[in-house]
Structure 1
Amino acid sequence: MPLDNLRGLYQQVILERYKKPRNFGRVNPVHRHQRGHNPSCGDTIDLTLQLDPNQERIVDIKFEGEGCAIALASADLMADAVRGRTIPEALQLVERFQAMMRGGEEFPREYRSLNAMKGVAQFPVRIKCANLAWHALKHALQSPATDDSVEEPGFVSNESID
């Protein structure tokens, strides 16, 4: 596919996910809750995760927040990709996504929707936007279980992370 057509397709996916996210909201019950904030642009993502009874697999994941099209589309695509995955599988996806943002290879066929974000890697200032939800997910999965009544969720600053 010619490069211009590919860019157009990627832009279309990002705009579609921004305008009509499929995973916007809050899960119930909440087993993990993490807030990510990018102070350089103001993007904020609140992730909530529901895990299986053994706390080993992501049953559901949703997000709320405000931000640019790239940050919100990335969060929405991420939720689709990690739902149903074990925690180690989800953490591997985080690493792979972050590598792609640094110019690494695209995702294999079963995760090809995530490749829509690859074009963002050409704009270093926007990489933080794309990575915000992924950083929040990583922190949520590496943190102990949370009680849904907790008022102050974890905070992830995307400022110093490459």
Structure 2
Amino acid sequence: MQAEFKMSMIGELTHFLRLQIRQQDSGIFLSQSKYAKNLMKKFGLESASSVRTLMSPNVKLTMELLGKSVDPSLYRSMIGSLLYLTASRPDISYSVGVCVRYQANPKESHMIALKRIIKYVKTTVEFGVWVGNADDKKSNSGGCFYVGNNLVSWMGKE
């Protein structure tokens, strides 16, 4: 490519599309801790108490018809911000996906669940994902799909 285009090396990649990239011998670590901290500030939750779990096990979100409505624009903004964060935080994907279901007519209970996710992110702000295998430097991914407690499908790719 250097024969076709003028290129220069400006150093090791450390940031890309709000992803923080840390390259080490053991692999590449991707995180969005700076973005997560700004997200908490944006929604006024930087001084909120921390939580250790994403969703309360006693709360089951449902489509409420009579609950108190909340600002749908704010709710959608929070959802969008959290969806972007899932690029480096697969641990929050399911919970954010549950909250996405209610963005057409969000109620107070849905907003409480969404704020809890942000409080969890505050607790785990330094989390991220490791990319690559330390032995052969190849990336690998995979997943399992469950219905209840039953494994119905899985995949792996290297």
Task: Tell me, yes or no, whether TM beats 0.5.
Answer: no
**TM-score in terms of structure 1 length:** 0.28
> Which has the greater radius of gyration?
2
**TM-score in terms of structure 2 length:** 0.29
